[in-house]
Amino acid sequence: MSNPYAPPQAVVQDIAETDGRLIPADRGARLGASILDSFFFGLTVYAPFLIAVAVLGWVAQGNSDGASAWVVAGLVGCAGFAVWLFVTIQFMKQNGQSIGKKLLNIKVVRSNGTAASVGRLIWLRNVLNWFISIVPLYGIIDTLFIFGESRQCLHDKIADTIVINA
C-alpha cells in the first residue's frame, strides 16, 4: 500500500541550460553545408547546362549552326538556376536554412535569436557579400572570421546573423 502523505514521484529528464545564449553551429557543419549547397547548385545549374552543350553540340556537329546550341544550353542552365533559386528560397522561408543547412540541421538566425528575413539572407548574406568579394583576398578574410569566438564569418557580421544548431 502506498503512503498518501509521500511526496509525488516523477521522472524528469535533464535539460541542458543555455542561460538564454544561442549555441553557434560547429565549424565543420558549416563547411559541410557549404559544400552540399555547392554540390546541389552544380547539380541543378551546371550539370544540365553541360549535358545540353554536349548533346546539342553533338546534334549540331553536322550543321553550321553551333551558336544555337549554346543559346539552348544557356536557356537550360537558366531554367536550372530558376529551379535552384525557387527551392532555396522555399527552404529559407521555412526556417532560415539552405538545402545543405537543412541536411546538417543548422540554421541562420539574427544575432538576437529571432528569425532572419529572407531579404536579409539573400541581399545581405549573399548578394552584398558577392559584390564585396571583388576585393582581392576578401573571400579568405571572410572565411577566416569563423575561427573567432563567435564563429561568425564577415558576411554574418554584415547581416547581423549567426548560424546555430536547429
C-alpha distances in Å from residue 160, one per residue of 35, 89, 130, 139, 157:
23, 19, 17, 18, 5
Of 57-66, 80-89, 129-138, the least confident: 57-66
Is 67 or 152 the better-scoring residue by pLDDT?
A: 152
SS3 of residue 20 by DSSP? coil
With beta carbons less than 8 A apart as the criterion, state whether 24 and 164 touch.
yes
How buried is 22 (Cβ within 10 angstroms: 0-12 exposed, 13-18 middle, 19+ buried)? middle
Task: Write down the pLDDT at residue 70.
Answer: 80
Task: Write down the pLDDT at residue 68.
Answer: 75
Task: Write down the pLDDT at residue 16.
Answer: 47
Of 8-12, 26-30, 90-94, the least confident: 8-12
With beta carbons less than 8 A apart as the criterion, state whether 26 and 162 touch.
no
Distance CA 84, CA 78 (A): 10
Q: What mean pLDDT is reported for the chain?
A: 87
Dump pLDDT digits (tens) for 14-66: 444 455 568 899 999 999 999 999 999 999 999 999 998 888 777 667 665 66
Give strand pairing partners of 27: none
Task: Write down the pLDDT at residue 129.
Answer: 92
C-alpha cell at 56: 546539342
pLDDT at 125 over 80: yes
pTM: 0.79
Packing angle, helices 66-95 and 47-59, rounded to 10: 160
